Amino acid sequence: MPRITPQTELDQLAALMAAQPDGLGIEAIQSQSKSLTRRTLQRRLALLVKQGRIQMLGEARAVRYVCSSQTVAFIQAPIPTLQASAEVYVPVSSEGEEIKAYVRQPRAMRPPMGYKLAFLEQYHPNHTAYLPQSLRDQLHAMGTARAQQTPAGTFARDILNRLLIDLSWASSQLEGNTYSRLDTERLIEFGQAAEGKNALETQMILNHKQAIEYLVLDPADAQVTPDCIVALHAFLSDGLMADPTAVGRLRCRAVEIGGSVYLPVALPQRLEELFGIVIQMAAEIDDPFEQAFFLMVHLPYLQPFEDVNKRVSRLAANIPLIRHNLCPLSFIDVPQLAYVDAMIGVYELNRIELLRDVFVWAYERSCQQYVAVKQNLVPPDIFRLRYRQALSDVVAAIVQNDEAATEATVNVRLPPMVAAADKVHFTQLVLQEFAALHPGNAVRFGIRPLALAAWTKRHGGA
């Protein structure tokens, strides 16, 4: 494993420059840092320059390294257990800082790394723990719903409308999608694609919506099984893969990771075998948070699909949370840079501390969004959610065809997707929609105010 630059080495070099107001040349620095080879010293100095702790003045042999104005305070101040960076980041532990410093080095300074089976082999479900017990207890306290005896998935269904928007937007944003949260809300609620956005960005949002509904609306679907993970990929990658046959299928070719020197497994047979082992190990983990985090670590590390692996892992991480009726993880406000750094740390170092920092911060943020406001939300009607599009189509068709809103009319227009056992309830819901229909809410059904006014005049409205 590549050696991570110890923070103490960097601090010592920065302190050396701080003691010399006029700066030092590399020869003078090396004479006082004999334990470092010249090549290693050059890398340390380049890293300090990149961090802004020192400045490089002059050219060629005349180069001198001078302490930056803010460095002295940085050296003298104690490093807290968790510290927030000046950039948009998450609070990072000292171990996370080590990983961050390593992955911020230029690619040329990071040796290529292949898949290491030992990283997986050293994990033993319910004996090994990426998340210490004290941290898991803290996460349980944050994410546990007050109604303990409700069926699996109740928490997620209660906040489904908000979760669809938040998770679709936040997860897509981590992939570079430029939709705003408001744009995402309009797309999910009203099917309105944002102007100036390309079709792939719109498709990515809609794919997230379908995948989330798949997990939440029927808890039987939310399982840590190969079939469920492949199904998530099918939803999330629909219309986004260069090869359409790669949708919902383990990859058959080698892939590379942008911005990383990590080279995943290339042999298809080996990949399929490892995929089965990873999912089996995940399924054996009892604690839902440990299980969620394991999936966030090992699914992207394996890269079982040609693309969309991280998106799959983020939704898969919600499976144990949904099943245990815990607050879901929406990744709202997670900085893209922090998430990417953390994943590269897993890829190239097999270290999980920075990703753990991101995971814990992201979950606390999600709980702030949902646990505190859940009591103020009206629980959604799951039946209405299931037939939302069908309800809209029937209401619009009756108005557009200038028909009276009666039980008989609705029965004639019942869509085939409505199950026989649901027909009576569905008809009642359509009539309820007509009873509450007015110009202000008719837009939900694509009905223009003038068309509604004409229909109301002829048929008397509600």
Domain with residue 50: its CATH number is 1.10.10.10
Handedness of CA 130, 135, 137, 138 (dihedral sign): negative
User: Residues 363, 388: one domain?
Assistant: no
Last residue of a domain, one of 327, 358, 376: 376
User: Residues 388, 341: one domain?
Assistant: no
Terminal-residue alpha carbon distance, the chain: 72
User: Residues 347, 420: one domain?
Assistant: no
Q: Can you give the pLDDT at residue 420?
A: 86
Does the pTM exceed 0.85?
A: no
Task: Write out the two tokens for 454.
Answer: 């004409």
Q: Can you give the pLDDT at residue 64?
A: 77
Q: Which residue has the tokens 């819901």?
A: 429
Cβ partners under 8 Å of residue 215, min gap 6: 156, 221, 222, 232, 315, 318, 319, 322
* Residue 101: inside a domain: no
* Residue 49: inside a domain: yes
Q: Can you give the pLDDT at residue 152?
A: 56
User: Residues 302, 407: one domain?
Assistant: no
User: Residues 139, 238: one domain?
Assistant: yes
* Residue 184: inside a domain: yes
- Measured in degrees and rounded to the nearest 5, phi and psi for residue 113 equal -130, 135
Cα of 298 vs its chain's centroid, Å: 15
* Residue 91: inside a domain: no
The one-character DSSP state at 3 is P
Q: 55 forms bridges with which residues in the sheet?
A: 66
Helix boundaries (H) for 151-263: 154-158, 160-173, 181-190, 199-217, 226-237
Last residue of a domain, one of 376, 397, 417: 376
User: Residues 362, 414: one domain?
Assistant: no
Last residue of a domain, one of 376, 399, 418: 376
User: Residues 232, 124: one domain?
Assistant: yes
Q: Can you give the pLDDT at residue 73?
A: 36
For residue 395, what are the domain limits? 382-459
* Residue 97: inside a domain: no
Q: Can you give the pLDDT at residue 78?
A: 41
User: Residues 359, 414: one domain?
Assistant: no
* Residue 85: inside a domain: no
Q: What is the dihedral of CA 96, 97, 100, 104, to 10 degrees?
A: -170
User: Residues 36, 73: one domain?
Assistant: yes
In tens digits, the chain (462 residues) has pLDDT values of 445 556 667 777 777 777 776 677 877 787 777 677 877 888 888 888 777 778 777 666 667 777 764 333 333 434 344 444 457 799 999 999 999 999 999 988 999 999 999 999 999 999 999 999 999 999 999 888 544 555 555 666 667 788 888 999 999 999 999 999 999 999 998 889 999 999 999 999 999 999 999 998 887 889 999 999 999 999 999 999 989 999 999 999 999 998 899 999 999 999 999 999 999 999 999 999 999 999 999 999 999 999 999 999 999 999 999 999 888 999 999 999 999 999 999 999 999 999 999 999 999 999 887 765 555 545 556 787 788 888 888 998 988 888 988 898 888 888 888 888 888 889 988 888 888 888 878 778 888 888 888 888 888 754
User: Residues 353, 430: one domain?
Assistant: no
* Residue 183: inside a domain: yes
User: Residues 366, 387: one domain?
Assistant: no
Nearest Cα to Cα of residue 181 among 333, 298, 56: 333
Question: Is residue 370 packed enough to be buried (19+ CB in 10 Å), middle (13-18) or exposed (0-12)?
Answer: buried
Nearest Cα to Cα of residue 177 among 191, 193, 189: 193
Nearest Cα to Cα of residue 167 among 329, 326, 338, 327: 329
Q: Can you give the pLDDT at residue 421?
A: 87
Q: Can you give the pLDDT at residue 48?
A: 81
User: Residues 406, 286: one domain?
Assistant: no
Tally the domains of the chain.
3
Domain with 266 in it: what CATH number?
Answer: 1.10.3290.10
* Residue 104: inside a domain: no
Angle at 356 between CA 208 and CA 89, to 5 degrees: 75
